A and B are shown apart, each in its own frame.
Chain A
């Protein structure tokens, strides 16, 4: 990884289970920034301290910084308006430091929506000022505040996992279909043995994406999934997709029932509703 580059990765326990998914940025020759899930700060930091090696320094600076994701097709126009046409946003998965309105900010070309966009980090004391500035200056580009519920529909259309729902300490990245983000060639890391074992023996259950066949009640977490009358798993994330206008979700099902195209039934209040396992992502942006 070069300086200024970011990488989506996991913090694993010794069983290969996911403690947290996060983005690691190399912000200096020997300086790294970890952007983790806010609900996991203590657990992550404790893990890092337990595994800390001599000659490294570790600091929890979560309270010092705030972050906002600005996502959407006009994000480049928006930043040109903030900074002038000559300032370029960083390339995908890269981060740069800039000053906006006397506020030092780090801008990362990353996001959790499937659209182009950035995630901006600033001093906690600048949070209100930055937020207000973006909303005011962004109005002409259609900038609007967006809550977690709305964002959840976007990330689920893209099949981006949510820690605590689609990822957990009991599931490893291979079961979650995210083996791509773990390099098993590396000689030594927490959970490696277990992951090699999973890779060799295959998974018992796999995280699949599905779409409801018809309109009906939205699928929700913990509803049971059936295939040919037998219970094969349960939903980990579900919602009504605003872009597809139909229920979508992800869930863990037995590997034998996890193939794309497999018909499923979702049990909702005692009734079964047909669904089909689909390829990820469930939605592709029209370009």
Chain B
């Protein structure tokens, strides 16, 4: 299972890429494999203010609908509209073209609460 070292992770299987004042968020390779074929993604509206751990998006496979959470407090600045027509990007390229949304974060210190790749690896292998 692919767990890139340069990303941060949540317990609920989102990955976080730091891009200056913004972070980009998607779901991990492990998460997409568990969900199986993604058939629909409900994206957040740009400009929405979100609290840490609030549900922001929904990823649906045939199996189940899963909430995607904001890893930290912030404002939605981008949503991946490519997923509307091609939700399977989450399966084929979870850490790349399958990103879901980007947040402008309120406080960079909040990122300290997130897990490293090593810690996330341990979580999914447990």
Which A residues form the contact surface with B (CB < 8 A)?
A: 149, 153, 215-218, 220, 239-240, 269
Q: What chain B residues lie within 8 Å of A149 (beta carbons)?
A: 62-63
Whether the Cβ atoms of B42 and A217 lie closer than 8 Å is yes
List, in ascending order, chain B residues with CB within 8 A of A218's CB: 39-40, 60, 62, 65
* 21 pairs, CB–CB < 8 Å, chain A vs chain B: A149-B62, A149-B63, A153-B62, A215-B40, A216-B40, A217-B40, A217-B42, A217-B58, A217-B60, A217-B65, A218-B39, A218-B40, A218-B60, A218-B62, A218-B65, A220-B65, A239-B62, A240-B39, A240-B62, A269-B42, A269-B58
The smallest beta-carbon distance between A143 and chain B, in angstroms, is 21
Which chain B residues in 58-84 approach chain A with CB under 8 Å?
58, 60, 62-63, 65
Bitwise, B30-41 to A at CB < 8 A (1) or not (0) is: 000000000110
Complex contacts, B40 vs chain A, CB 8 Å: 215-218
A240 to B42 Cα, complex, angstroms: 16
Closest A-chain residue to B39, C-beta based? A240
Residues in chain A near residue B42, CB distance under 8 A = 217, 269
By secondary structure, the B interface counts as strand
How far does the alpha carbon of A230 sit from the alpha carbon of B70 in the complex, in Å?
Answer: 35
Return chain A residues, CB-CB under 8 Å to B39: 218, 240
- Chain B residues lying within 8 Å of A220, measured Cβ to Cβ, are 65
CB neighbours of A215 from chain B (8 A): 40
A239 to B61, CA, bound (A): 10
Q: A216-B40, A218-B40, A240-B62 are in contact. List 13 more A-B contacts (CB 8 A).
A: A149-B62, A149-B63, A153-B62, A217-B40, A217-B42, A217-B58, A218-B39, A218-B60, A218-B62, A218-B65, A239-B62, A240-B39, A269-B58
State A45–B58 Cα separation when bound (angstroms).
Answer: 43
- How far, in whole Å, are A153 and B61 apart by their CA atoms in the complex? 13
The residues in B between 24 and 54 inclusive whose CB is less than 8 angstroms from any CB of A are: 39-40, 42
In the assembly, what is the distance between CA of A239 and CA of B40, in Å? 12
Which residue of chain A has the shortest Cβ distance to B64 in the bound complex?
A220
Closest 3 CB pairs of A and B: A217-B40, A240-B39, A240-B62
Residues of B within 8 A of A240 (CB): 39, 62
A125 to B70, CA, bound (A): 51
What distance in Å separates the Cβ of B117 from its nearest Cβ neighbour in chain A?
Answer: 31
Chain A nearest CB: distance from B57 CB in Å? 11
Point out the residues of chain B lying under 8 angstroms from A217, CB to CB.
Answer: 40, 42, 58, 60, 65
Alpha-carbon gap, A153 to B40, bound state (A): 17
Q: Return the chain A residue nearest B67 by Cβ.
A: A269
Docked complex Cα distance between A35 and B42 (Å)? 42
- Most chain A beta carbons < 10 A, residue from B39, B42, B58: B39
Q: Which of A153, A216, A218 has the most CB of B within 10 A?
A: A218
Residues of A within 8 A of B65 (CB): 217-218, 220
Interface string of B2-27 (1 = CB under 8 A from A): 00000000000000000000000000
Q: Which residue of B lies closest to A152 (CB)?
A: B62
| Docked CA distance A149–B62 (Å) | 8
B65 to chain A, nearest CB (A): 7
List of A residues within 8 angstroms of B63 by Cβ: 149
Q: How far is the CB of A181 from chain B (nearest CB, A)?
A: 29
Question: What separation, in Å, do the CA atoms of A239 and B65 have in the docked complex?
Answer: 11
Chain B residues with Cβ below 8 Å from A153 are: 62
The residue in chain B whose Cβ has the minimal distance to the Cβ of A242 is B62
**Which A-chain residue is minimally distant from B58 (CB atoms)?**
A269
Q: Which residues of A contact B60 (CB under 8 A)?
A: 217-218
Q: How far is the CA of A243 from the CA of B63 in the complex (A)?
A: 16
- How far, in angstroms, from A153 to B62 measured CA to CA in the complex? 9
Query: Quick one: closest A residue to B40, CB to CB?
Result: A217
Closest residue on chain A to residue B55 by CB atoms: A269
Q: How far is the CB of A23 from chain B (nearest CB, A)?
A: 27
